[in-house]
Amino acid sequence: MRFAYEAFKSSGSKTDGSIEANSVAEATELLRHQGLFVTAIQEAAALQSSEGRKRSSGGVRLRLGSNKTANLAMFSRQLSILVSTGTPLVEALGAVERQVKDEHWKSVLTDVREQVEEGAPLSEALADHPDTFDTIAVSLVHAGETGGKLEVMLERLSRLTRQRQKMRSAIMGAMVYPLLLISVSIGVLSLMIGFVLPRFAELFESLDTPLPTSTKMLMALSDFARGNWIVLIVGVAGSIVGGVIFVHSRTGRDQIDRALVNAPLLGKLVRGFLIAQTTRLLGVLVQSQVPLLDALDLTKKSTASRSYRTLIERAENAVTKGDSISTVLCNSDLVPISVSEAVRNGEQSGKVGQVLIGVSDFLDEDNEVVMRSLTSIIEPIILIVLGLLVGFVAISMFLPLFDLSSTTQGGPAA
């Protein structure tokens, strides 16, 4: 019997084809040994018919904006509630679709609903939009369909995406005030150098008084900035563009990743966030009955840090050889001893998924405390630096006036 399938390669790209096997389970197992993660499989004739219906219905792939995580969290949460109350899947999809106002997101849900109406599995319909539903979402939904626990998997996906959204919002919220202070500092200093200092320069020239060294330095800086402002703007713009290109390059990402992970103070917080994200994702996948090797592979692809991707790859190789994950974690400086020991205990008790999720909850709480503490330290430091800079400029400007006043008052007394 020939089965047509759709799957993801180990590189993350989507592929499809057909394979000879006696059953769906045997075909899936054969494909997994080939390094493929199956998202849809059925008899070739049925799948070709389904693909024909999708083409006739005008199914399209759409890209979402930066609110992809929020949309996915909302979708999985609402769909989970509706399915758990006994609402048919097509009706549940329609109910979620009617609540959406964003046109792109609504178009994606419309296409998903139409495919499910035509008989396609939900996981297959979601996999048709890889820019919207990543391999993690597709694999969890597929596991739910296979095990008859779709609402449970949707709830796990919802919790996973909501936690990801929560931590991202917490990080952005913690960065807003320091970035605002830095922007204000740059703006104030630029205003003083470009507009305030030249007015004092004219005053000092009219008074013809000797200037302190600090005042001369500021005047020279102001003259240079006003005389070469075009060059400075081009230089700043070029630096920003070069920085963006460097950040998006593979070499740049690797260097930044190593610098952040190994930073003296910030590195602990970065490692905490990365470990929490990795353990939560792996724990959810393992609890969802996703094979351990597949779970490790999916987690590796979803991890932004190259250091942790390498660590997960080592764990993947260890599991392939029959070793445990904890043996790799215990020998890595990227994982605290408490986490590796918890994973070891989970492996011995057969509750790896539950332990991983528990570890991630603990790490998230610890990370929030560390982040608040770090923010409370950074903010006054920025204020102090800003105050010192503004104070230095003010004193340098008014010091010649104080000297002139002292000279004027001392003249008659002589």
Model confidence pLDDT, tens digit, residues 125-176: 888 888 888 888 888 888 888 777 888 888 888 888 888 778 777 777 777 8
Quick one: residue 12, left, alpha or beta (phi over 0 = left, psi -120 to 50 = alpha)? left
Query: What's the confidence (pLDDT) of residue 324?
Result: 86
Helices (H) and strands (E) counted in the chain, each on its own, are: 18, 3
Give the integer Cα–Cα distance in Å for 173 and 171: 5
Query: What's the confidence (pLDDT) of residue 1?
Result: 67
According to DSSP, the β-strands at 14-20 and 2-8 are antiparallel
Query: Do 316 and 303 touch, CB atoms closer than 8 A?
Result: no
Percent of the chain predicted with pLDDT > 70: 87
Rounded to an integer, the average pLDDT of 3-25 is: 70
pLDDT band, very low/low/confident/very high, at 259 (cuts 50, 70, 90): confident
Query: What's the confidence (pLDDT) of residue 163?
Result: 80
Give the integer Cα–Cα distance in Å for 319 and 339: 18
- Indicate whether 332 pLDDT > 80: yes
Name beta bridge partners: 43. 3
Cα dihedral sign for 333, 335, 338, 341? negative
3-class secondary-structure state, position 17: strand
Fold of the CATH domain 266-367: Receptor-associated Protein (1.20.81)
Cα dihedral sign for 115, 119, 121, 127? negative
pLDDT digits (tens, 9 = 90+) for 294-325: 888 888 888 878 888 888 888 888 888 888 88
Rounded to an integer, the average pLDDT of 322-332 is: 86
List the one residue out of 400, 22, 5 whose CA is nearest residue 208: 400
Q: What is the domain partition of the chain in residue ranges?
A: 1-56, 163-263+379-407, 266-367
